[in-house]
Amino acid sequence: GLEHVLRPGRIGRLALPHRVVTGAMHLGWEARDDGGAALAAFYVERARGGAGLMVTGGAAVSPEGAGGPGYGVLDDARFRARLRRVAAEVRAAGGLLALQLFHAGRYARPPAGGPHPVAPSAVYSAFSRHTPTALDAAGIARAVADFARGAAHARDLGFAAVEIMGSEGYLLDQFLSPLTNLRDDEWGGDPQRRSRFPVAVLRAVRAAVGTDFPVIMRMTGDDLLAGGTTRDDVLAYARAFAAAGADALNVGVGWHESPVPTVQAVVPPGHWVPVAAAVKAAVGALPVLASNRINRLSQAEAVLAGTPLDLVSMARPFLADPALVANARAGRPVNVCVACNQACIDRSLADEPVSCMVNPRVGREHEPAATPAASPRRVAVVGAGPAGLKAAHGLALAGHRVTVYEADDEPGGQFRLAGRVPGKSDYLAAVGFLVAELARLDVALHTGRRITAADRDLLGGYAGVVVATGVLPRPVPIPGVDLPHVLGYPAAFADGALGERVVVIGGGGVAVDVAHLASDPAGPARRVTVLHRGRRLGARLGRSTRWAVLAELRRQRVDVVPGVRDLRISPAGVCFADAEGRPRTVPADTVVIAAGQVPDDGLVATVRAAGVWHHVVGGARDTAGLDAVRAFAEGAAAAEAF
């Protein structure tokens, strides 16, 4: 049941349809000069999908507060005009939108020639790679006034509420923390003085919008930094924000510089709930929101049923499924965010517009949605990995009669393997969503049915064929590769496949996954070594994820050897020359080859010969630069092209 989630809620005077708030996400098209069309369409699609209160990505209250080149600045009349349209369209769709008032402080990354970042003190930031200028008293007063002016704009522009961005290590947090506030004046020196700036901002915002307009304070419940804000100080700050007129506290966890993963797949869902619960206990009746790694409505339900917390903030799940609330209410399948960060956070960190691996429509909401085709046709999809399932889904939504053929006994392709890696079980849920959708849409899914050249006539009977046959492990010319204890990576994921001493050969994401699986502390104790030719293991993993996963491998004592040459496998182990050219041997009971992939594209010629319309998608098309984001996007594109 979802009775706690679906209960109406309240923030100040604002009535909420349920207890889930769509958390702020910087999308990367806030500053696009399109009259606000794409931004409005993004939020309208979610409002129509049953989202309650949504919080926009950060709107900078001043040019020096912008988080990067893609941020809108509230001083800019054209940005405000776009926001007015966004607020109006969301209202018309029955939605509720709060504007997030944002100042990055020392995390600001101004464009060349832009204003220099400012902060309480001149403390270098490894995140922005800037040393900010310390604000003087007049600068602090101006920053407070900037927030107040931004809040007044939000109200005038037709937003339903504002959220003050005081978490994740941005300007307000920088004042609160002894690591970044080295002042000894009325704005720093002890916790009470460090809290003066955020409290002044909150008071000024309240004064600007009046008592009846909801103001949410986003604050950090635990900065996860050595020498940072103490737990007692966090709770004192929460009480100070309550006293200064916040209508709700939205509790974030971690700064951008924290060495502890907060939103990656390696973090168990619900892990940070106690942090928000501690804040709730400190402020009594004031509504408090939990956030970070709450991925499903069922998890939100558990939070609301099991703690005094009032609301749950979920962000990425609304990228994965814009209609997650409506779908859950109606008992339809719900798409799941797999916490890969590949199309969302990693792109945002690279100043690119975000999208979503499992929902490539993110960022294209202003383009027409699939409408049922005038004349449904019969179409075959060969391969039920991510690309094939996504293509089949799109084709079925367009009303075509779709048949899927999968050679394996189960659908899912590479996602079935990934789903066995610790922390990645949601990859199986993403497959489960698509399979459930195909069932709902009457798609015939034949597993254990390999399509070969002999099926030319079968394929020729369709109006179109999507070839999504995926990849094969790349053959490697390593002496000894045919020995019985050497496995291609797909076999390594099977139960009981790995011995006690495991050597993984390869340096990409799959090799990292195999090492992670083999060293899972929940499994048998194993000695795991990764041998790779390059310098950086998992060099193509995303910026937000690579460090967290490699830290996990270190914690599990996986031995990573870069720069290896002259590999040779013997029954006893693997011999090689290390980066210095020294000969070495690592004993191994199991050797796993995870050294890349080649397209499994043998069927393409057959389909061509059959003379039907066809599209080749995902790994079957090309493995260079293949990732699941591309596989999903190509599957979706093939469905649109048919």
Binding site for ligand SF4 (CB under 6 A): 316, 319-320, 337-344, 356-358
| 306: Cβ contacts below 8 Å, ≥ 6 apart | none
CB of 418 to ligand SF4, least distance (A): 12
Closer by beta carbon to ligand SF4, 380 or else 512: 512
Judged by beta carbon, residue 82 or residue 516, the one nearer ligand SF4 is: 516
Least spacing, CB of residue 592 vs ligand SF4, in Å:
26
Positions annotated as catalytic residues are 170
Q: Least Å distance between CB 317 and ligand SF4?
A: 7
What phi, psi does 484 have (nearest 5°)?
-65, -25
- Residue 423 or 599: the one with the smaller Cβ distance to ligand SF4 is 423
Nearest to 628 by CA among 449, 430, 487: 430
Q: What is the DSSP string of 368-405?
A: PPP---SS--EEEEE--SHHHHHHHHHHHHTT-EEEEE
Q: Which residues pair with 467 in a beta bridge?
A: 382, 616
**E strand residue ranges, 550-602:** 559-561, 565-569, 573-577, 583-587, 590-593, 597-599
Q: How far is CA 365 from CA 21, 262, 344, 355, 359, in A?
A: 20, 29, 15, 11, 11
Instruction: Please state the closest distance from residue 294 (CB atom) to ligand SF4, in A.
Output: 13
**Min separation Cβ 105 and ligand SF4, Å:** 26
Sheet holding 565-569, edge to edge: 565-569, 573-577, 583-587
End-to-end Cα spacing for the chain: 39
Instruction: Provide φ and ψ at 242, rounded to 5°.
Output: -60, -45
Q: Name the minimum Å distance from CB 271 to ligand SF4.
A: 16
Residue pair 269/429 in contact (Cβ under 8 Å)? The answer is no
The span from the CA of 526 to the CA of 546, in Å, is 22
- Using an 8 Å Cβ cutoff, are 514 and 489 in contact? yes
Indicate left, alpha or beta for 496 from its phi (over 0: left) and psi (-120 to 50: alpha): left
Decide whether 324 or 468 has the Cβ nearer to ligand SF4: 324
Q: Output the smallest distance, CB 337 to ligand SF4, in A.
A: 3
177 vs 545, which CB is nearer to ligand SF4?
545
Closer CB to ligand SF4, 200 or 320, in the complex? 320
Q: Which is nearer to ligand SF4, 340 or 607 (CB)?
A: 340
Give me the helices (H) in 505-591, please.
509-518, 546-555
User: How far is Cα of residue 542 from the mean position of the Cα atoms in its chain?
Assistant: 11
User: 339 or 478: whose CB is closer to ligand SF4?
Assistant: 339
Cα separation, 201 vs 239, in Å, equals 15
CB of 155 to ligand SF4, least distance (A): 30
- Measured CA to CA, the distance from residue 256 to residue 166 in angstroms comes to 13
569: tokens are 């496998």
